[in-house]
Structure 1
Amino acid sequence: MLTPRRFLPPIAHLQAFEAAARMSSITTAARELNLTQSAVSRQIKALEDLLEVELFYRERQTIRLTPGGEAYAREVRDALKKISTASLNLRANPFGGTLNLAVLPTFGARWLAPRLPSFLAQHPGTTLNLVTRLTAFDFRLEAMDAAIYHGTGDWPGAQTHRLRDEYVVPACSPALLERYRFEAPADLRKAPLLHITTRPDAWERWLRLHNAPAEQVQGMLFDQFSTLAQVARAGLGVALLPAFLIEEELRTGQLVRALDLPMQTAEAYYLAWPEDRADHPPLTAFRDWIDAEISADTNIHN
């Protein structure tokens, strides 16, 4: 069934409206779009006539979004962004085969990126676009084909595939280990403990697992493992870090295990995708490839 034309306004009308809504100014919107003020005003008025809805309050020389206009502006902005992204993807790979993947920053930089040449060599027709995300998001609002995240595998509206478990180890600089000479889990309470916002209770869980006092565990807080690892390297405290993400630091001695007592976290790493992308060829190829890479990586370190 065809959508009535009034609900599919011309792109020029929508661009003029979105720019004016974002800047709260016809003049500034006209400058951005390289149009005259009257042209932008006419396009917005044409859009209002088409929708039969007033989008702005007009007060002397200023404009202000109506409540309906404000909600419509958000939707239009997202729609224009999706169209722009689709056009860029098509231009980058006119024969198709694009995979838009959201990935955790440290996982992407430390584990995934060094291995991507292997994937692209095996699939030369595929274009892979990466963006970083710290948390899960709504696939309906983000133009992503898939995402790699850490959690329980419960992502509403998405299918998930478990990639690997996570084991964290207490790590610190050699100088800090020399200073405190940890011998038992409780000894770590004498040193500053560093925390990650995505695992706020990690230290309490580790301490309880190893029968050490777990009350009032305080310390510096960070939002990414890469920053946390750098601060631990600088000797500012002990951090619980995923062992597979700090292999280089452990190998070179920039970080050492404060105690060789790992803990498996309750969550794991997952590949997730919207249900309507399950059979997208680049996604199925990536899913098979990353499974093989993780299997090989796990076998090496077991």
Structure 2
Amino acid sequence: MTFATQRSLVPSLGALQAFEAAARLGSFTRAAEELNLTQGAISRQVAALEESLGVTLFERVRQRVTLTPTGQAYAAEIREALSRIASATLSAMAFRGAGGTLALAILPTFGTRWLIPRLPDFFQKHPEVTINFATRIRPFDFREEQLDAAIHFGDPAWPGAVTHRLMGEVIVPVASPGLIASAPIRAPADVLRVPLLQQSTRPRAWANWLELQGLPPGRALMGPSFEQFAMVAQAAVAGLGMAIVPRMLVEEELRTGQLVVPFDRPLDSRQGYWLVYPEEKRERHAVVAFRDWLLAQCGRERDETGPAMG
């Protein structure tokens, strides 16, 4: 399909915005209020769009409008397309400076507890770069997401992406002082008598730790499950059970005494944290600046904490 043919198939932006607003709000009147137009203008825009497509997008019953099945599918696609246009526009505006923007996916707890406290140093060194954050807890396809890079935990396999190992992690069992005293928990086998808090993206964490201690892993999944480490940590602070977490993500709770490591039985994770980004973005200034800064930060962490972090 030639570019000229593609262009002939693209409706006006005004018609698409009117349709998307009406589809999302379920009302031509509310769409008109949002877009600062008249209800009649929205109706005409949508009618013109339906005529150009040759399909019915809305069922009109008295004063109500309802999307047809075709309208529902088209609305989802147009909403994503308009979002991409807005994102591209923000990026273009950011390039008025020398740095541009970096759309970065981060792991929620790693981002809030490790990365964000260190970012003032990055912005001091690179005030020309703007970082927009999104959270992702599992790998994704860069071709389908408006993201430039991601910090990922796991293995380095990420098709079509450049990968840089940042660090490993040391996993430790933790619990509140109250739970340790009431259980009581004095030896590794004692953990089998309390709920074991689960992190949904690390379903083997407790089983791996128990096996390392020579204990049966049968109770490894006996406890409530949470999606983020921050929630697991808070559940442990509240005394809901015992957690097994990366030590670097609960340093504050350990420092304040909200959590305690009852015995020195750490588990070195077989996986690690990685910075990943698409091959075609390896030369972008914002990507290069963040990559170099982040690798330097992780190198400093290894120097300060020793080989356990790497």
TM over 0.5: yes
Pair 1:199-2:202 in alignment:
yes
> Given the alignment, which residue of 152, 160, 165 partners 1:162?
165
Paired amino acid for 2:295? D
Structure 2 residue 130 is matched with structure 1 residue 117: no
Q: Where does residue 299 of structure 2 map in the other structure? A: 295
Q: SS where residue 217 of structure 2 aligns? A: coil
How many Å apart are 1:152 and its aligned residue? Answer: 2.1
Structure 1 partner of 2:87: 85
Structure 2 partner of 1:55: 57
Aligned residues: 302
> Closer, same or farther in 2 for the Cα pair 1:180/1:134, shift >3 Å?
same
Deviation of residue 92 (structure 1)?
5.2
* 1:18-57 mapped onto 2 (5 Å cutoff): 18-57=20-59
What is the alpha-carbon root mean square deviation over aligned residues?
Answer: 2.2
1:107 paired residue number: 110
Further displaced range: 258-267 or 69-78 = 258-267
Q: 1:170, 1:3 → 2: CA distance?
A: 62
SS of residue matched to 2:219: coil
* Unaligned ranges ≥5, structure 2: none
CA deviations over 1:83-133 (Å, ceiling 9, x no partner): 222333444562252111111111111100111111112212111122222
Matches within 5 A, 1:115-154: 115-154=118-157
Residue 273 (structure 2) pairs with residue 269 (structure 1): yes
Is the Cα–Cα contact under 8 Å of residues 26 and 41 in structure 1 kept in the other structure? yes
Q: Deviations over 1:252-298 (max 9, x none)?
A: 33322122111123432122223332221111111111111111112
Structure 2 CA distance for aligned equivalents of residues 274 and 75 of structure 1: 23
Alignment-mate amino acid for residue 198 of structure 2: H
Q: Does the 8 Å contact 1:78/1:141 carry over to 2?
A: no
The correspondence of residues 197-276 of structure 1 with structure 2, limited to 5 A, is 197-217=200-220, 218-276=222-280
Please give the alpha-carbon distance, in whole angstroms, between the structure 1 residues aligned to 2:204 and 2:158.
21
Cα-to-partner distance string for 1:49-107 (whole Å, 9 max, x where unaligned): 33344333445544333333322211110111122223334445622521111111111
Q: Distance in 2 between matches of 1:270 and 1:54?
A: 47
TM-score, L = length of structure 2: 0.88
Counterparts of 1:241 and 1:55, CA distance in 2:
50
Q: Helix, strand or coil: the match of 1:127? A: strand
Residue type at the aligned position of 2:57 = L
CA deviation vs aligned residue, 1:125-170 (integer Å, no higher than 9, x gap)? 1111222223333323322111112222333443332222122100
Instruction: Give aligned-pair identity as a percent.
Output: 50
Alpha-carbon spacing, 1:64–1:234, altered in 2? closer, same or farther (3 Å)? closer
Question: What's the CA shift for 1:41?
Answer: 1.6
Aligned to 2:175: 172
SS for the counterpart of 2:66 is strand
2:60/2:66 contact within 8 Å kept: yes
2:101 aligns with: 98
Deviates more, 1:248-257 or 1:106-115: 248-257
Distance 1:280 1:93, change over 3 A: closer
For the structure 1 residues 216 and 188, does the alpha-carbon distance in structure 2 shift closer, same or farther, using more than 3 Å as the test?
closer
TM-score (norm 1): 0.90
